[in-house]
A and B are shown apart, each in its own frame.
Chain A
Amino acid sequence: GENVEQHPSTLSVQEGDSAVIKCTYSDSASNYFPWYKQELGKRPQLIIDIRSNVGEKKDQRIAVTLNKTAKHFSLHITETQPEDSAVYFCAASESGANSKLTFGKGITLSVRP
């Protein structure tokens, strides 16, 4: 089955700096890669996703890149703000209408004011 690894497990940045979170996946059949943000005590929130026919996708301060050959994808957050502090999860899903997401263990991002 699919295995998703996420690193580093914690990341601390200064407000205004950029943050990059990387994930690798094992199953070359995976073709959908969402990112979720989970604040303390709240539900995971879908913040951006990418499908395997696209190499990069941007939405304001966040972007995701996908390298299918190397089987890794990354979340980029620019101009970080204290409200970006949260746990970020990457996930991967196989092709078809399959809704089974395999998640990474999550990374705790801390933005220092």
Chain B
Amino acid sequence: KAGVTQTPRYLIKTRGQQVTLSCSPISGHRSVSWYQQTPGQGLQFLFEYFSETQRNKGNFPGRFSGRQFSNSRSEMNVSTLELGDSALYLCASSFAGAAPPEQYFGPGTRLTVT
């Protein structure tokens, strides 16, 4: 099976702009979770989507949003970018049959905000 893929891999944006990141899960996986990774805060949970519905949400401002499509692909959007949003954004997919399920990560999107 192909692994989790994310596009784009690298992105440079300016403060105030918005950005959309994409994640394609492993075939058959219906749950997609998003995490932000920074040197200072480590890996922090943003949100999880399952069957096109947000099932869990972390402690991030409303500028961070996401959605999931019927083919389980997911996008996350960050509006009004701030310098502090510079991070590696990782998505992870899981087969939502086991409870809790094993999660497999994509390669991430490196976002730099200038």
Contact = CB atoms under 8 A, between A and B. Distances in A.
Contacts of B99: 95-98
B45 interface: yes
A87 to B, nearest CB: 10
A97 B58 contact: no
B9 to A, nearest CB: 11
B33 A101 contact: yes
Contact of A44 (B31, B94, B105): B105
B96 A89 contact: no
Interface in A87-113: 89, 91, 93-106
State the main secondary structure of chain B at its contact with A: strand
B75 interface: no
A89 B45 CA distance: 14
B106 A43 contact: yes
Contacts of A34: 102-103
Contact of A97 (B42, B90, B96, B102): B96
Interface string B83-114: 00000001010101001111111111000000
Interface in A10-45: 31-32, 34, 36, 42-45
Interface of B: 4, 31, 33, 35, 42-45, 48, 50, 55-56, 58, 90, 92, 94, 96, 99-108
